Structures are given as structure tokens and as C-alpha cells.
Structure 1
């Protein structure tokens, strides 16, 4: 049996086809080749068109099929990973009512802050494990307050992965993991939060049917199967946010295990078996893919909005004609510490770890006689590494003390300079794996369809490609505290 994994990213859609018996990736395809736009009609806003995602999903699958490396009719299950925290609204005809308000949109910060106070900070944290903040429920409240005609047409509110599953199957489902990342779920009561729904005035009817993460979320419609050359009736057996999915892909499933990613945003994601929370809600706790009421598995998530998006901006602004690989080689010409040039990478909306402040991206100490484009490139990647250190220190305050961090050798971790800056700034070794969101989604589908007995079994043979150990922590501590002193002036 073959497994199809779909990763609905902010920049593009990626799909992979995996052989269930060998766990080997047969082929991957991405669409589009260029990065998808984020629509920002006002400062702090960020939207994308869900129907664009769906068109790109189809094109990516057709692109994979065109390689002729597999028979599409042998695909037996589909899994979906997706950008977290987005809001998709549809009417009873399953038509999209407005563009999706995506994860890095900041418009609902004040709404969430007021809900946090009204519900009660202690109760919010102990029951929701988070402030309502800028998450999906608060985004829905913004629509209710500002677009009542749209809100009155809402049949179901869902996350991006739920929408893609709906387009594939015609069924609308969700999971506790998805609801927890939207701040709809009460962990103490193990049900939809009465406090959130009552405060915001939502009907619980807008929430789709709740299924386990690893379970059937509908079967492929005949019309879609025909377009994509797949078998009618293939089940969608897995849906998860991109960060829980990345943790699954890295076999980070048990308490104390920690994963990291550095794509458009940067994340450190650790697993706990306790209903833990940060009193300032700077890091967030959601239900992990293997969470159960009788065996709690919580994902403690630190998110930095401004990581890979800064790296992309630097490349496109200073060296648009070269590849990322070439850029990663060129900035090695600048010394560690970038001769005092410091970069704050926070230019992608409100940063939760900075108490939802919009700090912006900043370049400090520019010496026009000394600093070159290589210094800018290196200082930017070092600044991102320092942001990870800042966030990891918050996680340490909350009892998460990783001895090793697992990451996929992808995105910023393809840069040897960034990877070494990360381990020297944080003081934690990193194991790099061959890891991909769409492959993880495919394996998740295999777990959901019963091809593997447990999630751990699905990744039993996984071995790291590389271990990077800290070698210059004292030097990087000096750079970091210099960087942190600059940050304090803005927060």
C-alpha cells in the first residue's frame, strides 16, 4: 500500500508518496515553485485564500503523479499536515465565506486579551492551558464583531487542514488537537470550553464533528478521485498541525522529547505528560497527536514568527540572484558575532513569546565602513538563533530542559552556519534527521489506517543524519547577552 501525505504550508503545498511497508519516500512534489503570497491589506493582517490552497494541492498531486514513479491507484490512505491557527469559514454549501485569517495575523490580540481577563487568567490557564490570545477562537470573534454578515452565514469554522480534508471528502471533521490549538478546548473538563463559547457568544454548532487524530476523517469523493487519478473511497486517516506533525516525523512523542523547526516561523516543541502552562502565555500548550484522556501527551510550543521569513527577506533584498545554498556559503566570510552587527528578527506580526508585542525587525550597530552583505546575512541567522535561545530560556523557566533537540535537515537547518549558531547559542546538541512534513503526514496516514501498530512503531528505524554539538557557548553567550540587551529596549 502507498500513502499520500499533504503539507499545507504558508509558502507552498508539498506532497509525498510513501511505501507503507518500507517507510521510504517514493516521490515528493511542491506547488507552486515560487512562494505563495500573504495578503496584508492592513498592518498586522495576514490572509490567504483557501481555494488557492486547494488548487495548489491538486496541482502538487498531479505533479507527483506525472513522475510515473508509482501507480496512483495503489494509494490507500491520505494524511494532512497544515499551517496552524488559521481560520476557515464555510456556509452550508461548503463555500468559503472569506479569506483565511492565518497564523501570523495579529488583528485579534486585543480581543484575546480581553477574553483572558473576562474569563479569568487563572481559570484560562488551568483549563485552556493558554490565554485565548491571537488564536483561532479570537479570530472568529473578530469576524463576529467586524463582519456580521459573514458570521451569520457561517455553517462551520475550521482550521486549514480540516478545509483540505473537506475538499477531498465532502465531510467536515476536526480533532481535540486542532481544537486545542484554536483555544476552543477545556482540558480540565475534557470538552469544548463553555467559558470561551459563552464569552464570545459562539454556538457550538459551528464546530465540526470531533474525531481522533489517527482515524477516518472521510473518504475521497468520486469527482476528486477522477481529477487526481486516485481510487474513489480512499480514507483521510490523519490530520495534524504542522508542528505536532513535525514532532511526529521526528519521533518526538514521549515526555521530555523535543523537536525544532526553522521554516517561515521557528518553533521549539516539547512533549509533556502534565497540564502545564506558562503564566504569561508566552509559550503555549496544545494536545499532541497521541494525546488521550487516559494518557496525556501535551505539546509545549514556543513560536517565533520572524525566522525563515527574515532569511528570505535578506536574500531577496541583498542577493536576489543567488540561491539559498550560495548565500549560506557566502556569509561564512563574516566572523562569528558579525563584527558587532546585531539583528532582531521580529518583523512578522505579534510575537507571543514577547507578550504579543509587535516589535518589528531591526538592524543595529551598522558600520558603513566595515559591514558587508555577508555580515548582514550572518547577523540575520545569528539573530534568529538568539531568538531561539530567548524562547528556550522561557521554556526552561517552565520546566522544559532538553538534553538534545531533534530537527529536520531542512529550511534554515540546511545552513551549517545557522545550525552551529543555534547549538552554540542554546547550549543544546541538535540531531538532524531526514524529515519532511509531507512524509510525516503520509506516515501519519499509515498509523491512522492501521499499517503500523503504534506511532512509535512507525518511526522505530529512524536514525539521525548528523549530530551537532556546542563548541563555542561562552563566546556565543557574550553575543547573546549583547543581543538581548538590545531587545529589552523594545519590550
Structure 2
């Protein structure tokens, strides 16, 4: 048996699978982030460990025999977070999360440094780890002076499990300290950020074995001694493993808290100016690229919160009729935007509001605006040479048939809907655990899911969607000028 842990910003999911990767059971535990100032997002790493204990205890209670046969475990997790440890391995301050934008000035300064983009393959975004440490150096110098190690969120969990400070390529690629082409820490990037190589974790591939779980922790968690802890993956790389997106032409669109359009790549082909992320994949000798919309289902959740209706109720009110975009526009820059703008300061809004508009009109505009943002990411990906002919549609928003059809019309691509069952980051982590323990070929283990149906673009609406998308793109400069 194998376990994949998916460490998210709102909770952890523990998935137990058998030797063939078939799900046996899953459990979750939840926690919250803190927002002590505008643009700040932090979390106490102790909550992650408590969440893991809770989810694993529930898994043991539900499936005691299978749980007792565990051979390997791997963690997938949200990227870019900065967990700062002192010489004794104690946490120095709350983790600064991926969606924290306080370090925008430090990010711009690092991004302007000679060769930084060329080596990292990416713009230095405010959410990345390196500018967070530069911010701590400037604003919390006493804390910065005590930093012995910096680990990413999922790697803090692996450290707890093994006592070894380790990371892997897909997560390290989002720090702006990694030479993403060479798959190693870059002394030039570390120096630019005021860091040292001895402050970095040891690097593995995602299928690499960090080591056995500590005996004392295995006893505490009710696990057999000797369970191997595998390096795991960043959340989107793990999701790609979960849906079998490993080779050129494979990809998915995720309608989650943030929106992602991801394309697997057989080689390293960065184009930092496009604001596309170019990262190492979780399996050796492969990479992936993705465009990111910071507020995807978060935009719908925002509308639900201020109207007092649930997201499902909002989308259900639209019915089955997917029509051409109207004059009401929504710009989903509620937390700034990554692709294609790299703009932490821009903010969203509606334009074209009329006294005749009602709540369904506003809901439709929100879904259209996020779909246009995803189309921006697809255009940026194509500029790098990626050219997917179809995409899997995953994430919570993909449960809305209306939204998926709208997105297919906007992207002008077929969207494949996986059949019911496990797929995504927790399954990807479990598959990495299988490969790490058994030495199995990832291509064989990381099969694509069964497809329940394919949603094709409506030819009668594609041109109207393209025209509305262009108007959306043209409006950015005017919206920016209002800030």
C-alpha cells in the first residue's frame, strides 16, 4: 500500500492506494490561513503536521489492514512558501504563502538582476520564495540572521517524517534559486538573493527516496517501521502525474482556487517574458509549463460570499443555455495577476454594468472573465511552442457543465472530462511513492484517467468568444490606469 498526501492551503488530503495505484480510501483535515495585513498570507506549519496526523488517523481507522501494509508515502504541496528554520530546526516565523504579495518590490529588484531570468527560466514573481527571503532580510533582519535552512511547505512535512532536509526539482523550480535547465541550485541565483547553498535542502527527483520514516513517528502514526518517504512534487506537477500528463502534447486546465493551464514538455523551452512558468516536472528529464490565473474559483467564491448564495446555486441559475458573451465584463484580478501580466498591484472589477443586469448576468460575467484569463494563459503557452490539441478539465469548477462549455468555446479546444474517481495531486503523490519504492517506470504507472465525455467548442460561438476575449485583453491598460 502507498499514501499520497496533498498539502493544500486550506487542508490536507490523504489518499491510500494499492500496488496498482487503485484508490482504497481517502481522508481530509482542514485549517485556515491568516491575513495579518493587506496582501499578506501566512500559515503556521504546525497546522500542517496536525492536519496530517488527523487525516492519517482517520485513514487508519477506516482501513486498518491496508494502512498497516504501507510501504511508501509521498507529499504533494502548494509551492513557493517560505518555512524558515534555525540551527535547531525550529520554525522562526509563520510560513509566507504562495499568494502573499508583500515582496513585490524585492521581486522586481531580483528580476532585474543580470542572468536571473536566463538561469531560472522565469520571471521572479512576488509569490516566489526568493523575494520572500529578501523581504525578511529587509524587514525582519533579526529573523533573517538566524535562518539556517529554508524549506518549502511539503518539504517541511517530509522533514518531520524523516529528519532529513530535502526537496525535489518541481517544487525547487518555483523558488528562483534553481537552475531549472540544469536541475540544480544556482550559486548565481542564490547570491543574487542573499542566500547560501548550505541553507538549501538536498535535491532529489520526485521519485527519489529521501529515507525511512522516523521510528518514533511511525509508532505514533500506527505505521509499520521502515516505510519509505519519497520526495514527492509541487501540487501542479503532482496533478500532472495524477492525470498522466508527462509528455509533449499532454496537458490540463484546472478550475481551482487559482486557475492553471498546464502543458507537459519533453525539453527545457523557457520564455520568461510571456509570464509563463517553466518548471521541472516531478519525473526525471521532463519539464512542464503553465500559465496561472490567481483568482479562478476564488472569483466565483467572492461573488457567492457577497451575495449570500453558494457557488453551485449561482451557476445553476444560468441553466443549460451557454450563449455569446454580452457587454458586461468582469476582470478577475482580485489578488493581482500572474500570466500574462506579472502584476501584483492590479485589481479587478466589472465594466459595462447596467441597471437591467441581475445576479445571473454578473455570475455569467465572472465565469467569462476567468475563462478569458485562462485563454490568456493558453496564448502565452503557445508562444513558447506548446501546442495542446485537447486538455483535461479538472478542479472544482469543472463540475459546472455550463462553465466547461463556456471555457471550451473560449479556448477553442476540446475539453476532456475524467470519469468519476481519484485523479490529481494526491494520486500523483501516491504514484510517485509507487515509483520510488518499486523502481517502476513513471510512464507505465502514471496512466491517463478514463474519459467520461469530451466537451467540444460550439462553432456558432467561437468567433464571438474570440472577439470578446480580445476586448478583455485590450481593457487591461485602461483598468491598470485606474489603480
Q: Please say whether Structure 1 and Structure 2 have the same fold, judged by a TM-score greater than 0.5.
A: yes
Deviation at 1:18, TM superposition (A): 0.8
Deviation at 1:412, TM superposition (A): 0.6
Deviation at 1:416, TM superposition (A): 0.7
After superposition, give the CA deviation of every residue in 1:167-205 in whole Å (9 maximum; x if it has no partner): 122221112332222121124555321222222221211
- TM-score under structure 2 length normalisation: 0.92
Compared with structure 1, are the counterparts of its residues 413 and 111 closer, same or farther at alpha carbon in structure 2 (3 Å cutoff)?
A: same
Please say if residues 322 and 402 of structure 2, whose CA atoms lie closer than 8 Å, have aligned partners that are also in contact: no
1:151 paired with 2:144, answer yes
Q: List structure 1 segments (4+ residues) > 4 angstroms apart after TM superposition.
A: 187-190
What is the rounded CA distance, in whole Å, between the counterparts of 2:25 and 2:182 in structure 1?
A: 43
Matched residue, 1:414: 399
Please say if residues 54 and 164 of structure 1, whose CA atoms lie closer than 8 Å, have aligned partners that are also in contact: yes
1:220 to 173, 197, 213: 213
After superposition, give the CA deviation of every residue in 1:322-371 in whole Å (9 maximum; x if it has no partner): 4x444332232786356432111111245352122422221222223x22
After superposition, give the CA deviation of every residue in 1:71-119 in whole Å (9 maximum; x if it has no partner): 321111101110011111112222211111111111222212212222x
Matched residue, 1:387: 373
1:102 paired with 2:97, answer yes
1:396 to 364, 379, 382: 382
2:470 to 467, 473, 481: 481
Please say if residues 26 and 70 of structure 1, whose CA atoms lie closer than 8 Å, have aligned partners that are also in contact: no
After superposition, give the CA deviation of every residue in 1:104-158 in whole Å (9 maximum; x if it has no partner): 111222212212222x2xx333321113332111211211222121112212101
Please say if residues 106 and 350 of structure 1, whose CA atoms lie closer than 8 Å, have aligned partners that are also in contact: no
What is the rounded CA distance, in whole Å, between the counterparts of 2:226 and 2:38 in structure 1?
A: 44
1:244 to 237, 242, 252: 237
What is the rounded CA distance, in whole Å, between the counterparts of 2:441 and 2:404 in structure 1?
A: 31
Matched residue, 2:352: 365
What is the rounded CA distance, in whole Å, between the counterparts of 2:181 and 2:71 in structure 1?
A: 37
Classify the secondary structure of the residue corresponding to 1:440.
helix
2:306 to 300, 310, 317: 317
2:69 to 58, 68, 74: 74
Matched residue, 2:124: 132
1:19 paired with 2:18, answer yes
Q: Give the alignment's Cα RMSD to 1 decimal.
A: 2.1
Please say if residues 111 and 138 of structure 1, whose CA atoms lie closer than 8 Å, have aligned partners that are also in contact: yes
2:338 to 348, 351, 355: 351
Please say if residues 116 and 124 of structure 1, whose CA atoms lie closer than 8 Å, have aligned partners that are also in contact: yes
Please say if residues 82 and 242 of structure 1, whose CA atoms lie closer than 8 Å, have aligned partners that are also in contact: yes
Deviation at 1:264, TM superposition (A): 0.8
Matched residue, 1:427: 412
What is the rounded CA distance, in whole Å, between the counterparts of 1:346 and 1:205 in structure 2?
A: 38
1:443 paired with 2:431, answer yes
What is the rounded CA distance, in whole Å, between the counterparts of 1:332 and 1:363 in structure 2?
A: 22
Please say if residues 334 and 374 of structure 1, whose CA atoms lie closer than 8 Å, have aligned partners that are also in contact: no
Please say if residues 262 and 290 of structure 2, whose CA atoms lie closer than 8 Å, have aligned partners that are also in contact: yes
1:45 to 40, 47, 55: 40
What is the rounded CA distance, in whole Å, between the counterparts of 2:299 and 2:182 in structure 1?
A: 40
What is the rounded CA distance, in whole Å, between the counterparts of 1:259 and 1:235 in structure 2?
A: 30
| Further displaced range: 475-484 or 304-313 | 475-484
- TM-score under structure 1 length normalisation: 0.91
How many residue pairs get aligned? The number is 474
What is the rounded CA distance, in whole Å, between the counterparts of 1:352 and 1:485 in structure 2?
A: 15
What is the rounded CA distance, in whole Å, between the counterparts of 2:463 and 2:334 in structure 1?
A: 28
What is the rounded CA distance, in whole Å, between the counterparts of 2:321 and 2:36 in structure 1?
A: 37
Please say if residues 334 and 375 of structure 1, whose CA atoms lie closer than 8 Å, have aligned partners that are also in contact: no
Deviation at 1:463, TM superposition (A): 2.2
What is the rounded CA distance, in whole Å, between the counterparts of 1:279 and 1:25 in structure 2?
A: 38
Q: Which structure 2 segments of 5+ residues have no match?
A: none
1:111 to 106, 113, 119: 106
Q: Which structure 1 segments of 5+ residues have no match?
A: none
2:156 to 155, 160, 163: 163
What is the rounded CA distance, in whole Å, between the counterparts of 1:126 and 1:339 in structure 2?
A: 42
